[in-house]
Structure 1
Amino acid sequence: MPVSKASVQALQQFLLQFPTGSVAANARVLLDQQQAQLQDPTFRARSEGLAAVKSGNTTQTVADLQKAVQADSRDSDAVGALGQAYSQRGDRARAVAQLSKAIAMDPDSPNRGKWDSLLQTNRYWLLIKQGDNALKAGQLSQAQSYYAQAQRVDRTDSYAVLGLGDVAAARKEAAAAERYYQQALRLDRGNNLAVRGLANLYRAESPEKASAWIAGLPPAQRRSIDDIERSLTNDRLEKQAQALESQGYWAQAAEVQRRRLALDPDSVWITYRLARDLVSAGERQEADALMRTMVNRQPQDAERVYASGLYLSGNDQDDLALAQIAALPRSAWTDNIRELEARLQSDRVLRQANQLRDSGDEAQAIALIKRQPSSVRYDLTLADWAQQRGDSQTAIADYQRVLRQEADNGDARLGLAEVYLAEGDKPAARAQVMQLKGAETESMNMQRRVALARAGLGDTADAQRIFNQIVPQAKAQPPSMESALVLRDAARFATQSGAPQQALTHYREAMVASGITPRSRRITILLRG
């Protein structure tokens, strides 16, 4: 046993048990020698360091061995032990430096075999770490170089080959990545990162291929990537739900969403999607309860409050949505929540303004809006009102003010086109329509307005093409005034195009979409609006 506190304690314990005899006498001599040696701080640091590194106790080891090496830089045993201590702490770079130095100092040391083994291990994992860091930083050539060096250091370990596969995958070299991952698995069937790499490769190629490959894996490997398998299942179910939603099969879509939620019970957005489908299927109470439960689990979670706010505002419960947002500390507000809160506040103002206008007091409504902080939404509302009352000059000025703030605002651009069409200025109207950009006109309502503008310009083929796209969408939507207006205007266009039977069909569909019957007073608004 090397001289240390532990060896002194062992001798003292021996003498307590065997205090007499020649062996005890020898033990006392040895104890005296060791105690004397340990009085020297340098010797004590060296001996304690060597003993600690042998036992794997690195708490004080490095400091003790550093003192020993500083006292005698030619002490190869201390230098090698310091390298071993660094290795035990995971400090690969310092371990490599000290072990290399020890071997160079004493190539014939009895510790040479241990040093060589430790040097190879630390050099290998240092190169792996350097490769990982380079890969993370996007330095693919450097990463490849590190992994290749690591492979030359140890051709029996799988992680260097795994790294080469990751580099190939990052370069979109799927065939090379597949070969490396498969080679890594041949070296180590338990390398779950290689399994994950192959799963992601196959998923990028085809979800079906990935699912089939995963299904054929041994149980342990399959369990190691169960998150990928769940994600693939979720993606497949999401596509099914979207297809059902696009056809208006809301109850069936909700059942698929339930299956998705079972895979990820805490998902905020799957819960939100399920609630929306339930509302569309006429199950409002269940949807409300679902969203309440979701947000009540973590009422201070910004994402949950935001999702709940979207749901509530989409179901005419703006005040409740605002109350939930107000209960969230301002420090927790995200950009999405700030944007939603601002929209809901402006919705409240616009509701009040529209009530005043509907009661015949448009001047008061305009005054209310003008008292609010300036916003594009308010400016658009004032422009739309001016257009509707036939004040073309004011409407044009208001729309142009919006466009000075947002050059790509599709509402303002379409509003100008509609004003110019009403005045008979088709060239000016066409100029505005031609400046419309796709992203600004993607909504069904905007497409409806574009179709009407095209029809007004005489571009009947373009108008028909747009109606052909949005009528099926409107029919698949839950009953709403937006879908009803699409079907109403499609009916009017069909009448103008000489297709009275199709027009009649669309009028009937519009009534269903708006939730009215032929005896409802709202039919007048729908047919004449």
Structure 2
Amino acid sequence: MQKLKGILLLCSLLPGLALAQVAPLGNPQRERLVEQLLLGEALGRDDLVDSALARLQQLDPESPEALAAEARLAIRRDELRRAGQLLNRLQRAAPDSVLLRQTRVLLKVALPAGRQRLLEARARAEQSIPDALRDYEQVLEGQLPSLDLALEYWRLRSRVDGQRPTAIANLEELARRYPGHAGVRLALADMLFAEERPQPALALLHELGGDAQAGQAAAQREFQYLSEQPLHPRSATAWEAFVARYPHTTLIGEARDNLDRDRRRLRDPAWQAFLRGQTLLDGGQTAAAEVELQRAKRRLPDEPGVQGTLGLALMRLGRHAEALNAFAAAQRLEQNTDLISKWYELQEASRYWVWLEQAEQAEQAGQLDKARQLYARARQKQPAEPAAWVGLAALEAGAGRSAEAERLLLQARRLAPADERVLRGLLRLYQAQSNQRATAFLESLPPPSRQLFAAQLRDLRVAALLQQADAALQAGDGPGEARLLQQARQLTPDDPWLTYRLAGRLAELGRRAEGDALFADLLGRQGASQPARYAHALYLSGAERDAPALDSLRAIPVAEWNADTRALAERLQRRQLLNRAEALRAAGQEPAAIALLEGQPSLPAEDLLRLAGWAQARGAHEQALAYLQRIDAAQAESAEARLGEVESLLALGRAAPARATLQGLAEFPAEQRNLRRRVAGAWMALGDLGQARTRIEQLLAEGGDSDPLLLRDAARLHSATAPQQALDLYAGALRDAGELAPQAVAPRDDRALTRASRPRDDDDWLARSLRAETEALYQRENPTVRVQHDHAWRNDDVTPGLSDVKQDTTMVQLDLPLAGGRGWLRLDEVNMDAGRFDTDADGLHREDFGSCAFPGLAGCVSTAQQARGTAFALGWQGGAWSFDLGRSPQGFEIGNWLGGVSYAWDAAGLGWTLTASRRALSNSLLSYAGAVDPRTGIRWGGVTANGASLGLSYDQGGDHGIWADLGQHWLRGENVADNQRTRLMAGYYYRLIERADQRLRTGLTVMHWRYAKDLGGYSLGQGGYYSPQRYSSLGVPVSYAWRNADWSLLLEGSLGWSWATTEDSAIYPLDALIAGPLAEAGALAPDFNQRTGTSGGAVGYRLSALAERRLSDHWVLGGGFTWQQSEDYAPSYAQLYLRYLFEPWQGALPLGGDSLTPYSEFK
């Protein structure tokens, strides 16, 4: 092949026209004479040549055209010496001209040596056309010196594949230059027929038909052509025209016979079926053509044209075995030698494809050796056809011999450089190796071939960009990934999934509008495409834009939805339902949310779990159990439902059935990590820390060290016994929740950790849980010293020496982590000053104090009523339990041991706190410190409240909350009449603002107290504490709290109304205490010991403020005041405090501050 290409390159240098390479003569007469010369040579009329030469030589004896023509004439007459002389004259007249070169070559081949070489070249043409063309080039020296040699050369060149169009173009030019040369026109007609251009070929023959000499040759060639044509509707017309055109041809009889035959056939239904089949086949309707041709074959089984045409139809249908039989029949029946060759060639081509089909079948059956043999046989049959090479290459590639497969495919490509099957085979081979090599291969193809694989090249480039995008994603380079995806989408703008990925990435980068625009662009072209609509809806659903997602899906008629689209629509509709339910619940309309879910035709197990979770959240665990028990064992959610039952049973305090259910629970699959974590939490709640620890450690070992929920539970497990490890776990959980920088975890940066514990408004439940628990544990483990000073006074109508008490309390408290909770030690330095009694004119006072106001006796000396002492206390708080133990200030007249214990729990949706206590009553100096009667020396006072209270609360985290407190106490003091107190209090609050750093609440508070006795006086036996038989009040409180990083503020106010009733009571309730004064006074009025009861109401208000400021990581300074005003009672106080934390604290300051409560005011 390479050799032939070289020869053709050389041949392309040959002049295209013989005797035509001269410049225009510029003289019309000379041009006419030269044309006459050429015409005479074309017709073989030397007389015309002689006549034209004579006249041309008269015009110019040394004319190059005349000299060259005379030399050619001498060569034809074998006057070679004369020709040589003319050649010499021509060299002088036109040196280095084409005419000179052509004449020299013509003389050369007329000589014996040149003639012999020309004969050898002609002989070689019968053996090897490429070699013959090379010989012609050498003999003719790149010239075509005569018309006959030009005709001979182009006939030979036309026999080379792909060279016939070039030969035709040159013969057409010769025919224009030599219009009278019949041989040129006949040769041109033959080439046009061979090139399947019958119309221009017939036109040439028709021109020659009128030529006396060439007419017979033209008729014979046209007859041959018409005889070779299969029957068609114009066959009879063509023969009619032939008979009319060539009436004197010797073939006229056969032509008339053919005309009659075709007329008969055109009337025959079988031949009509054949004609219809031909027409359909030519129109590309192969299947319909085969039906008609099979009908014709049944009636005309011996017609080779019918068999052969049917074979063509079968071959196009890929039924090569049947085509092989049809071509064999056509070859056997055919009489025309040329058509016999045609049917044979088609038969061999079919056999080739049959072997290929058999090879493919053997390959699919795993018979690789047989497949290889068949491919090899096909390749041997048609070595220039690439299909067998491609098949063999596929076998080699399948066996892992890529190098051999590539060698075979490259050989096939050399045979057929542009064959699509070969190129596809190479593409598959290279693509299996790498996309980069496949891309490079396609980019190396010539443009026409590359265009065939434009889609594959585009896909490879897209794949390369997507691979780079994946790498960018792995590296955390979101913007880089987006840029690469945008480049990929420019190549495939109609790929819905590429658009989906890019739009999703842009949305994650905060560029959602760009993502929306991408889908708008896509849907502008593919709005009716279900995949595009599905991808769009999926993209919208990712941002929970469910309504527009459903609208996008509904752009496709519902009846046309596929299973995926229906499933997505159902998911979106269900999520809308769930979102509506959650929104109602978040708005405090949980009953409406429950009704919405329960209104479904049937409740899915998922919704039963959800409803149970809601019930658990509001503490309605019996209702939660009812929901969970509706999920039977056959449902996939059964195990989770049983776990929910365990959690509700634990909340109800029913540990035994909870343990039994938990023990019967099958292990959850490894991938259900959250449920396994909840199981560990249940074991933790049952107190089986070993089980809990084993399960949590197993989850951590499985890679759960990046699961914030699991780390939180692990921290809870260790918080009591290994608090620092627990804090490390909380730090890891905050890191994995994206709330703490990784570098702050190991080693733990406590400043960063505590800063991360600050709550934020946008926290989800997990972040809130992690922050709150981290803060609580860190604060529990952070030793703290508090120093506070309170100054209290009264602004109402007070009595000096009795109720005009000013109190200063200095508190120092040390908080320490202890036994999984927080212990504290407290010292309260208390200084109480009630002033001096107002005296009468005699310098004595007769106030209701001890026995100083006893009738019939002198008053008492006015003394300062003061008490000073230091109280101490200690306590502990952890989880549900808390207790304290202390003593009233050492230095008071009467001292008491004090203390209390509390237990808190949740049940029935309520928070419960039961407290048993013994507390001091610090209403007055008498009730708190005790006093001594100046007259009798009797010590009395120092009252304590001994009893229990039950606190209740209901708060589901919504806008509303309720609390209540019920208490029953026995009030006892030294030489004080015993008393009983029943106290009922309740309140409602409404959250106007509830944010992480801001809170505004209002509500309503009601109280009702009952005392068995009114012991509010200061005489012997009285307690000096406010104790009406009945007291009721109604208040409207308002509270506002705010904080930022370093400040916290609390402002409170309330407006209230109260009503109190006291019954008649004894001034000296204990007769034994007044025996001495009574004896001294003698006879007294019967009612001297009676006090008249009273009743009345009052309106009061209270204002308070508290603020604190973070000074550093360790110091906090705070202060505040309370101003209270009522008709008979107006206590106020101011305070200042300092708090020191041993470990750094950058967490949130307490919202509203955190001041100490004097030990005397503990509940």
Per-residue CA deviations over 1:313-345 (Å, capped at 9, x if unaligned) read 222321222222233211221222211211222
**Aligned-pair CA distance for 1:395:** 5.1
Q: 1:125 aligns with which of 341, 353, 359?
A: 353
Distance in 1, matches of 2:336 and 2:257, equals 29
Distance in 2, matches of 1:357 and 1:53, equals 76
**Match status 1:434 vs 2:667:** yes
Distance in 1, matches of 2:436 and 2:263, equals 73
Distance in 1, matches of 2:271 and 2:763, equals 98
Rate the CA distance shift 1:405–1:331 in 2: closer, same or farther, 3 A. Answer: farther
Per-residue CA deviations over 1:474-529 (Å, capped at 9, x if unaligned) read xxxxxxxxxx878877876896671525634643774759xx99463345953238
Rate the CA distance shift 1:212–1:384 in 2: closer, same or farther, 3 A. Answer: farther
Rate the CA distance shift 1:94–1:528 in 2: closer, same or farther, 3 A. Answer: closer
Alignment of 1:53-64 (within 5 A): none
**Match status 1:335 vs 2:544:** no
Indicate the residue corresponding to 1:503 in structure 2: 730
Residue identity opposite 2:496 in structure 1:
V
Indicate the residue corresponding to 1:290 in structure 2: 518
Secondary structure in 1 matching 2:384? coil
Alignment of 1:286-435 (within 5 A): 286-374=514-602, 375-389=604-618, 404=633, 406-407=635-636, 413-414=639-640, 416-417=642-643, 419-420=645-646, 423=650, 429=662, 434-435=667-668
Rate the CA distance shift 1:308–1:66 in 2: closer, same or farther, 3 A. Answer: closer
Distance in 1, matches of 2:628 and 2:414, equals 68
Per-residue CA deviations over 1:159-216 (Å, capped at 9, x if unaligned) read 1232344456567776775565455435433334344334334444444555566666
- The question of whether the paired residues in 2 share the 8 Å contact of 1:147 and 1:164 is answered with yes
Q: Which moved more, 1:279-288 or 1:185-194?
A: 185-194
**Match status 1:101 vs 2:329:** yes
Distance in 2, matches of 1:108 and 1:259, equals 62
- The question of whether the paired residues in 1 share the 8 Å contact of 2:406 and 2:429 is answered with yes
Residue identity opposite 2:419 in structure 1:
N
Distance in 2, matches of 1:14 and 1:108, equals 20
Distance in 2, matches of 1:101 and 1:258, equals 61
Per-residue CA deviations over 1:387-444 (Å, capped at 9, x if unaligned) read 445566765675576575653x5xx645644653673657865875733264xx4xxx
Indicate the residue corresponding to 1:113 in structure 2: 341
- The question of whether the paired residues in 1 share the 8 Å contact of 2:706 and 2:733 is answered with no
Indicate the residue corresponding to 1:82 in structure 2: 306
Distance in 2, matches of 1:82 and 1:451, equals 81
Distance in 2, matches of 1:9 and 1:524, equals 92
Rate the CA distance shift 1:222–1:64 in 2: closer, same or farther, 3 A. Answer: closer
**Aligned-pair CA distance for 1:119:** 0.6
Indicate the residue corresponding to 1:527 in structure 2: 768
Q: Which moved more, 1:349-358 or 1:194-203?
A: 194-203
- The question of whether the paired residues in 2 share the 8 Å contact of 1:418 and 1:429 is answered with no
Indicate the residue corresponding to 2:500 in structure 1: 272
Rate the CA distance shift 1:221–1:67 in 2: closer, same or farther, 3 A. Answer: closer
Distance in 2, matches of 1:330 and 1:288, equals 24
Residue identity opposite 1:328 in structure 2:
I
TM-score normalised to structure 1 length: 0.73
Alignment root-mean-square deviation, CA? 4.8
Distance in 1, matches of 2:278 and 2:577, equals 76
Tell me which protein shows more helix as a share of its residues: 1
**Aligned-pair CA distance for 1:372:** 0.9
- The question of whether the paired residues in 1 share the 8 Å contact of 2:631 and 2:641 is answered with no
- The question of whether the paired residues in 1 share the 8 Å contact of 2:696 and 2:714 is answered with no
Residue identity opposite 2:768 in structure 1:
L
Q: Which moved more, 1:124-133 or 1:489-498?
A: 489-498
Aligned residues: 495
State, as a whole percentage, how many aligned pairs show the same letter: 25
- The question of whether the paired residues in 1 share the 8 Å contact of 2:584 and 2:592 is answered with yes
Residue identity opposite 1:84 in structure 2:
G
Secondary structure in 2 matching 1:95? helix
**Aligned-pair CA distance for 1:148:** 5.5
Residue identity opposite 1:420 in structure 2:
V
Secondary structure in 1 matching 2:760? coil
Distance in 2, matches of 1:95 and 1:83, equals 9
Per-residue CA deviations over 1:79-125 (Å, capped at 9, x if unaligned) read 3x233212433254443213323445689967443332121012223
Alignment of 1:225-304 (within 5 A): 225-245=453-473, 248-304=476-532
- The question of whether the paired residues in 2 share the 8 Å contact of 1:124 and 1:154 is answered with yes
Rate the CA distance shift 1:289–1:97 in 2: closer, same or farther, 3 A. Answer: same
**Mind listing any 5+ residue stretches in structure 1 that lack a counterpart?**
442-446, 472-483
Rate the CA distance shift 1:270–1:121 in 2: closer, same or farther, 3 A. Answer: same
Q: 2:700 aligns with which of 461, 464, 469?
A: 464
Distance in 2, matches of 1:31 and 1:39, equals 12
**Aligned-pair CA distance for 1:460:** 3.3
- The question of whether the paired residues in 1 share the 8 Å contact of 2:584 and 2:590 is answered with yes
- The question of whether the paired residues in 2 share the 8 Å contact of 1:103 and 1:112 is answered with yes
Distance in 2, matches of 1:167 and 1:399, equals 61
Distance in 1, matches of 2:624 and 2:486, equals 48
**Mind listing any 5+ residue stretches in structure 2 that lack a counterpart?**
1-222, 685-691, 741-755, 771-1163
Rate the CA distance shift 1:398–1:295 in 2: closer, same or farther, 3 A. Answer: farther
Distance in 2, matches of 1:62 and 1:53, equals 7
**Match status 1:200 vs 2:428:** yes
Residue identity opposite 1:461 in structure 2:
E
Alignment of 1:158-173 (within 5 A): 158-166=386-394
Residue identity opposite 1:373 in structure 2:
P
Tell me which protein shows more strand as a share of its residues: 2
Rate the CA distance shift 1:123–1:506 in 2: closer, same or farther, 3 A. Answer: same
Residue identity opposite 1:462 in structure 2:
Q
Per-residue CA deviations over 1:278-335 (Å, capped at 9, x if unaligned) read 1111112222222233223322221222122122222232122222223321122122
- The question of whether the paired residues in 1 share the 8 Å contact of 2:375 and 2:388 is answered with yes
Distance in 2, matches of 1:183 and 1:303, equals 43
Q: Which moved more, 1:125-134 or 1:62-71?
A: 62-71
Rate the CA distance shift 1:401–1:179 in 2: closer, same or farther, 3 A. Answer: farther
Per-residue CA deviations over 1:263-282 (Å, capped at 9, x if unaligned) read 21111111111111111111
Alignment of 1:19-98 (within 5 A): 23=248, 33-38=257-262, 40-41=264-265, 75=302, 78-79=303-304, 81-89=305-313, 90=316, 92-98=320-326
Secondary structure in 1 matching 2:494? coil
Indicate the residue corresponding to 2:1159 in structure 1: none
